[in-house]
Amino acid sequence: MIVTTKKLFEAAYGKYAIGAYNINNLEQTMGLFRGCLDSQAPFIIQISKGARAYTHKTMLEGLIRAADQVFPQAIFAVHLDHGDEETCYDCIASGFYSSVMIDASHEPFDENIAIVKRVVDAAHAKNIVVEAELGQLGGVEEHVKVDEANAKLTDPTQAKECVERTGVDSLACAIGTSHGAFKFSGSQGLHFEVLEDIQKRLPGFPLVMHGSSSVPQDEVERINAAGGNLKGAKGVDEEQFKGAALLGVTKVNIDTDGRLVWTRVHREHFRDHPENFDLRPVGKIFMAEYAKFIAHKNEKLGSAGQLEIVRKMM
């Protein structure tokens, strides 16, 4: 059943976070649904602009509609990840997405607000919810001077102003994470004090943490041992998720870790079976491993075991 992220956030706020997982293909879709049902978790499917262009945007919609039929017990939102204004309008018009992210965080504050407001007005007219972003992810590292680092983090005063001026439904905050497999050069520098400050100014308002892959070191080692070259890859400690949830984070975005599962499975399989040229045996292993990975993440996020409680709230 497709629901809005708003409903999921109402259930989760202050207690746990919902996993938001990017998908691009059939095998990820199957693994995602299986993993979420195995762990009895509600979830968010994220589709990026790149994912829409990978095959065809209609292919992804078709996959998700089919998965909804194959797994009728699943409760999930369908969300556009890092949309520009044009893509947001396309997703709103499609009638398929229950949620869109407008990412105008690279624009000056007032321009970001103006863009978000236009998207919110168009989306709300169709009962679709909107996530915006304030601050900028990436490059916030331990060795960077505090002043420089803070310059990229979300300003809590602006966060409140953005929500009040736009009526947006959730806000992605920059607290020191970045996208991809190389997040920190030293120990991780997450700024929970920024979340705390935002939560004080916007009590009950759902916050989103991007760039939340944990880049498990055993996964990196296995990939490198099977011919990969991901030296120095490092991510967010997944033990931090529950603390973030208490501070109002209701959505945690994870993409890179799923790509690492794919890379490890395929590298090891073809290293160990050089005679193979069939895509199905390795595809089956990937779907099973992806499901295990998703169930594990849902445990760490606290969303595991929440499915029936959420169903009763719908």
Task: Find how far residue 98's CA is from the centre of its chain.
Answer: 15
DSSP category for residue 2: B
The answer to whether 48 contacts ligand G3H (rule: CB under 6 A) is: yes
Among 5, 22, 154, 303, binds ligand G3H (CB under 6 A): 22
Task: List Cα–Cα distances, 243 to 17, 76, 251, 272, 300, in angstroms.
Answer: 10, 23, 13, 40, 11
Q: Where are the beta strands (DSSP E) in 34-103?
A: 43-48, 76-83, 99-102
Q: Are 287 and 30 in contact (CB under 8 A)?
A: yes
Among 50, 203, 243, 281, binds ligand G3H (CB under 6 A): 50
The answer to whether 180 contacts ligand 13P (rule: CB under 6 A) is: yes
Candidate ranges 26-34, 48-56, 104-112, 290-298; the one touching ligand G3H (CB under 6 A): 48-56
Task: Please give the full DSSP string across 216-270, using - where no structure is assigned.
Answer: -HHHHHHHHHTT---TT-B---GGGHHHHHHTTEEEEEE-HHHHHHHHHHHHHHH
The residue (of 82 and 191) whose beta carbon lies closer to ligand 13P is 82
Using alpha carbons, select from 77, 81, 58 the residue that is nearest to residue 68.
77
CB 103 to ligand 13P: min, Å:
9
DSSP tally for the chain: helices H, then strands E: 14, 8
Among 24, 39, 213, 306, binds ligand 13P (CB under 6 A): 213
CB 1 to Zn ion: min, Å:
25
Among 78, 255, 283, 291, binds ligand G3H (CB under 6 A): 255
- Residues near 106 by beta carbon (within 8 Å), at least 6 away in sequence: 136
Among 52, 117, 183, 210, binds Zn ion (CB under 5 A): 210
Q: Helix, strand or coil for residue 182? A: strand
CB 256 to ligand 13P: min, Å:
4
The whole-angstrom separation of Cα 219 and Cα 27 is 19
DSSP category for residue 51: H
Among 21, 255, 283, 307, binds ligand 13P (CB under 6 A): 255
The answer to whether 183 contacts ligand G3H (rule: CB under 6 A) is: no
CB 137 to Zn ion: min, Å:
7
Please report, as residue ranges, which positions from 244 to 283 form the binding site for Zn ion (by CB under 5 A).
253
The answer to whether 52 contacts Zn ion (rule: CB under 5 A) is: no
Partner whose binding site includes residue 51, from Zn ion, ligand G3H, ligand 13P, none (CB under 5 to 8 Å by kind): ligand G3H
The whole-angstrom separation of Cα 154 and Cα 172 is 9
Catalytic one among 81, 103, 155, 257? 81
Closest-approach residue to Zn ion (CB): 210
The residue (of 19 and 42) whose beta carbon lies closer to ligand 13P is 19
The whole-angstrom separation of Cα 166 and Cα 40 is 34
State yes or no: is 81 an active-site residue.
yes
The answer to whether 212 contacts ligand G3H (rule: CB under 6 A) is: no
Please report, as residue ranges, which positions from 81 to 100 form the binding site for ligand G3H (by CB under 6 A).
81-82
Q: Helix, strand or coil for residue 99? A: strand
Residues that bind Zn ion (CB under 5 A): 210, 253
Residues that bind ligand 13P (CB under 6 A): 22, 81-82, 179-180, 210-213, 253-256
